[in-house]
């Protein structure tokens, strides 16, 4: 479960990215974050992932109060979260397999189980058989799928995606959304930020709309 309780995030310079936000996303829920650039979507996702800390208020993720959690404990919370980045954050000096296996290495899976899981994740996102391919040889859509495979390979309880369909054509974007839907169907809490609301509306899920760091009315 993700719970925000009167959360404010202020960046140096006095810019309030989020203002006094309170909401809850239940376990196994799929929710969308909508809003224009600068609305606070990415900041909100960063707060859930513990990448940023709230200036005030309380952020609860899987029972952990991230505002009070020690820095050294944060990695263990992140190990239960899958992150899909808008800019993919793929390591271009490693092949598809090595990129995907990274979360499993971090958690400490043995090689045989890790290999099995990587293959399953790559099959799931449609990159089966491309384990040895270097990311530079993948298309933009395939790179996004690789990023998704890496985000789900360790079977996280929460999956956060920041503009996963940005820079993709509609058909590709729908494919990606279908992938997220399939993860949600197996019980993963999915939070996706996007600014194309038509894409979200097709799924009939909760949409949290943000404007200038607050809920949009």
Partner 1 sequence: MKHFLFLHLQSARQALHKILRQPFGSLLNLLMLSVALALPLSLYVGINSLQGWLGKLTASPQISLFMETSAEEADIAAVDRTLRGHPRVARYHFVSKAQALADLEKRNALTGLAEGLEGNPLPDAFIVEPRDAEPQALEMLQKELSGLPMVESAQFDADWAKRLYSLLELGRHLTWLLAGVLGVALVLITHNTIRMQILARREEIEVSKLIGATDSFIRRPFLYHAVWQAVLATLIAWGLTEWLVAIAGPAVSQFAQLYNEHVDLHGLRPAELLGVMAVSALLAMLGARLAADHQLRQIESS
Binding site for partner 1 (CB under 8 A): 49, 51, 71-72, 75-79, 81, 83, 85, 89, 91, 93, 102-103, 105-108, 110-111, 150-151
Cβ 79 to partner 1, closest distance in Å? 4
Task: Measure the CA–CA gap between 161 and 176, rounded to whole angstroms.
Answer: 11
Cβ 206 to partner 1, closest distance in Å? 26
Cβ 20 to partner 1, closest distance in Å? 26
Cβ 32 to partner 1, closest distance in Å? 22
Using the minimum distance from each CB to partner 1, give the nearer residue, 75 or 187. 75
Task: Measure the CA–CA gap between 116 and 68, rounded to whole angstroms.
Answer: 37
Q: Identify the H or E element spanning 148.
A: helix 140-152
Cβ 66 to partner 1, closest distance in Å? 14
| DSSP tag of 124 | H
Specify the long-range contacts of residues 69-78, CB closer than 8 Å, at least 24 apart. Answer: 74/50, 75/106, 77/50, 78/49, 78/50
Q: Is 129 helix (H, G, I), strand (E, B) or coil?
A: coil
Task: Measure the CA–CA gap between 66 and 143, rounded to whole angstroms.
Answer: 30
Cβ 71 to partner 1, closest distance in Å? 8
Using the minimum distance from each CB to partner 1, give the nearer residue, 49 or 54. 49
Task: Measure the CA–CA gap between 199 and 165, rounded to whole angstroms.
Answer: 9
Using the minimum distance from each CB to partner 1, give the nearer residue, 35 or 50. 50
| Token digits of residue 189 | 């809490």
Using the minimum distance from each CB to partner 1, give the nearer residue, 113 or 178. 113
Using the minimum distance from each CB to partner 1, give the nearer residue, 89 or 137. 89
Using the minimum distance from each CB to partner 1, give the nearer residue, 33 or 151. 151
Task: Measure the CA–CA gap between 66 and 145, rounded to whole angstroms.
Answer: 29
């Amino acid at each position: 479960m993700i719970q925000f309780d009167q959360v404010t995030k202020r960046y140096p310079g006095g810019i309030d990215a989020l203002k006094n936000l309170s909401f809850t996303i239940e376990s196994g829920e799929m929710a969308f974050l909508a809003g224009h650039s600068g609305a606070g979507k990415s900041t909100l996702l960063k707060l859930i992932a513990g990448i940023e800390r709230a200036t005030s208020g309380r952020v609860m993720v899987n029972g952990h109060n991230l505002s009070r959690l020690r820095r050294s404990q944060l990695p263990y919370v992140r190990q239960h979260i899958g992150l899909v980045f808008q800019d993919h954050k793929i390591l271009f000096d490693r092949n598809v397999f090595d990129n995907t296996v990274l979360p499993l290495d971090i958690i400490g899976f043995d090689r045989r189980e890790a290999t099995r899981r990587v293959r399953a994740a790559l099959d799931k996102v449609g990159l089966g058989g491309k384990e040895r391919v270097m990311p530079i040889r993948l298309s933009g859509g395939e790179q996004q799928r690789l990023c998704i495979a890496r985000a789900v390979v360790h079977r996280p309880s929460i999956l956060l995606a920041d503009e996963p369909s940005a820079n993709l054509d509609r058909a590709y974007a729908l494919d990606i959304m279908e992938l997220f839907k399939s993860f949600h169907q197996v019980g993963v809490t999915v939070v996706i930020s996007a600014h194309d609301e038509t894409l979200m509306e097709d799924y009939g899920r909760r949409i949290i709309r943000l404007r200038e760091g607050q809920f949009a009315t």
